[in-house]
């Protein structure tokens, strides 16, 4: 497993799998299977895949720690960038067919409709993350600052879930399902953080005592 995950070629099939949702949509479009409202179909599909890829990205860290598979980290950037890719397509269905590429009308909509506001916020938050996803930017920012910046994916994921919840009419089962997944992933991080703090604190006092004794 470790060898498979660290093989440089494993990224190729993962990349292709990440493209499968887009391939399916193109195939459906070509065979006239986007239903009676194709724009809405594409909008919903790209929105859902954005949310799913955000969740996949957020699953990497818990998974690599729980399964002791540190190599999984190699795939996180790709998954995150695919989330960004699908949100761009999602945004395109909005600015194009919905707003007829009228930026002023779009901005009014963003201001006025809370589900659009929160969705737009999530989209905007992902832009700097996509830009600074390269090794060069990690170096330039420094690991710590880079990591702090990239924690805004938590907010983006929460925005995505709220956006979904606020746009449905009465059947909230699907939005709640995704909200539950995001909650689990974020609560795990909170638990992990507390656990780490708990581990570090006694270790620090030990160290202090040791240094006090030494002097």
Binding site for other proteins (CB under 8 A): 31-33, 35-40, 97-98, 100, 109, 112-115, 166-167, 169-173
Supply the minimum distance, in Å, between the C-beta of residue 87 and other proteins: 20
Supply the minimum distance, in Å, between the C-beta of residue 129 and other proteins: 28
Residue number with CB closer to other proteins (83 or 179): 179
Residue number with CB closer to other proteins (100 or 215): 100
Supply the minimum distance, in Å, between the C-beta of residue 172 and other proteins: 6
Token pair of 132, please?
């600074």
Residue number with CB closer to other proteins (30 or 212): 30
Residue number with CB closer to other proteins (31 or 215): 31
Task: Give the integer Cα–Cα distance in Å for 74 and 60.
Answer: 9
Task: Give the integer Cα–Cα distance in Å for 164 and 168.
Answer: 7
Task: Give the integer Cα–Cα distance in Å for 165 and 1.
Answer: 38
Task: Give the integer Cα–Cα distance in Å for 80 and 88.
Answer: 13
Supply the minimum distance, in Å, between the C-beta of residue 51 and other proteins: 17
């Amino acid at each position: 497993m470790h060898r498979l995950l660290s093989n440089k070629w494993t990224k190729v099939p993962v990349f292709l799998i990440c493209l499968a949702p887009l391939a399916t949509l193109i195939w459906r479009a070509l065979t006239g299977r986007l239903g009676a409202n194709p724009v809405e179909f594409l909008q919903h599909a790209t929105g859902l895949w954005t949310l799913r890829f955000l969740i996949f990205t957020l699953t990497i860290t818990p998974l690599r720690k729980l399964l002791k598979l540190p190599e999984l980290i190699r795939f996180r950037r790709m998954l995150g960038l695919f989330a960004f890719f699908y949100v761009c397509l999602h945004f395109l269905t909005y600015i194009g067919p919905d707003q007829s590429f009228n930026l002023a009308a779009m901005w009014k909509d963003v201001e006025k409709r809370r589900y659009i506001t929160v969705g737009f916020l999530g989209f905007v938050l992902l832009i700097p993350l996509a830009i600074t996803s390269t090794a060069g930017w990690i170096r330039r920012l420094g690991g710590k600052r880079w990591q702090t910046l990239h924690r805004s994916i938590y907010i983006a994921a929460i925005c995505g879930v709220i956006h979904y919840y606020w746009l449905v009419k009465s059947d909230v089962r699907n939005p709640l399902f995704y909200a539950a997944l995001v909650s689990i992933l974020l609560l795990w991080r909170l638990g992990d953080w507390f656990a780490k703090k708990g581990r570090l604190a006694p270790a620090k006092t030990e160290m202090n005592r040791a240094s006090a004794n030494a002097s």
